[in-house]
Chain A
Amino acid sequence: MKVLIVLMACLAYVAADCGPLQRLKVKHQWVQVYSGHGYEREAFGREVFLEMYNQAPKAKDLFTRVRGENVFSPEFGAHMVRVLGGLDMCIALLSDDTVLNAQLAHLSTQHKDRGIPNEYFDVMKVALMKVVPGHVSHFDFDAWSACYDVIANGIKH
């Protein structure tokens, strides 16, 4: 019985961790979300950003420079694909820790310079965890949650 409990605890730990296998799965699932066409990427981005606005209406104020009040504007479209492109890089690098850390350090400086408060990374997480499942089959909530944290914690400043 004791052995079983220990085993269960180990399993639970593994499930909540962003281990090598979880990283492969998130990378694989992300490819289904982030396909090659810009207009599809923008449509996905709009879902994510609108969800963020929904949770935290003040988030809009961060994006006045890129016309965040109109998520259909070309300026905001370009902004969204830049943000998602950044996320794409991090997810692609989940299987290469040293380069991932270099990239996260770069993004951390960038976000600090722009004055993006850390709590918005949590807002983004909630939005992604809500929107991504609609775009992938067999969404792995635990893997995404743990691996998103690895990325966000690396960028928070």
Chain B
Amino acid sequence: MLRFVALLALVGLAVCDDCCTTEDRKEVQTLWSEIWSAQFTGRRVQVAQAVFEDLFRRDPESKNLFKRVNVDDMNSPEFHAHCIRVVNGLDTVIGLLDDPDTLKSQLEHLAQQHKERDGIHKTHFDEMSHAFGAVMPQVSSCFNPDAWNRCFGSIATKIASLLED
């Protein structure tokens, strides 16, 4: 019996090292809602653009994935609109963190959408995670990187689940 308990504890630890707990979700939703609001359009574009700048610095090749949305001019309306769509997609997912069934359905939808785009790999999502991790503390006050990374990591893993490495 003791052995069983110990095993359970181990499994629990192993599983929850990187899981997005209820507290984490609340934390992420709160800090996100403080920087993200329809009232402040400029803010949305700036956050998204900073994320993409970080991504392109880290992986210049990844720029080619966004040719269709005029990435060559990062200040073009097309690219700004794209920025807003990406981060708005994240907003939708963060909103659903406390509604697991719907969240699952939405993540499957996003996974499928990304699978249909040529050239996106799992590694791109690691890079995006890194980019958000670098940008968020600069815009969000009293940022909680652990909660953010756990929740963002679990979201990114699921969206990238149908992609190749």
Chain B interface mostly helix, strand, loop or mixed? helix
**Which of A49-57, A77-85, A131-139 participates in binding chain B?**
A77-85
Query: Shortest beta-carbon distance, A146 to chain B, in Å?
Result: 17
B: contact size bracket: 35 or more
Question: Which residues of the partner chain B approach A78 to less than 8 Å between Cβ atoms?
Answer: 96, 102-103, 105-106, 109
Q: Which residues of B contact A30 (CB under 8 A)?
A: 38
Which residues of B in the span 99-120 have a Cβ within 8 Å of any Cβ on A?
A: 99, 101-106, 109
The reply on A41 being an interface residue by CB < 8 A is yes
- CB-CB under 8 A from B109, the residues of chain A are 78, 82
A14 and B31 CA atoms in complex are apart in Å by 38
Q: Which residues of B contact A37 (CB under 8 A)?
A: 29, 95, 98
Chain A residue contacts of B94, Cβ below 8 A? 36
When C-beta atoms are compared, the residue in chain B nearest to A85 turns out to be B92
Kindly count the residue-residue contacts between A and B in the assembled complex, taking CB atoms under 8 Å apart: 97
B74-86, CB under 8 A of A: which get 1 and which 0? 0011101100110
How near does chain B come to A64, taking the closest CB pair, in angstroms?
Answer: 15
A117 interface residue per 8 A CB criterion: no
> Are A77 and B101 touching (Cβ within 8 A)?
yes
Contact A42 B38 (CB under 8 A): no
* Contact of A91 with B by CB under 8 A: yes
Give 12 new A-B contacts, CB below 8 A, not counting A36-B95, A38-B95, A93-B84: A36-B33, A38-B103, A74-B101, A77-B99, A78-B103, A82-B106, A85-B89, A92-B44, A102-B77, A103-B81, A103-B84, A106-B81
Interface residues of A, Cβ cutoff 8 Å to B: 27-28, 30-31, 34-39, 41-42, 74-75, 77-78, 81-82, 85, 88-89, 91-93, 95-96, 98-99, 101-103, 106
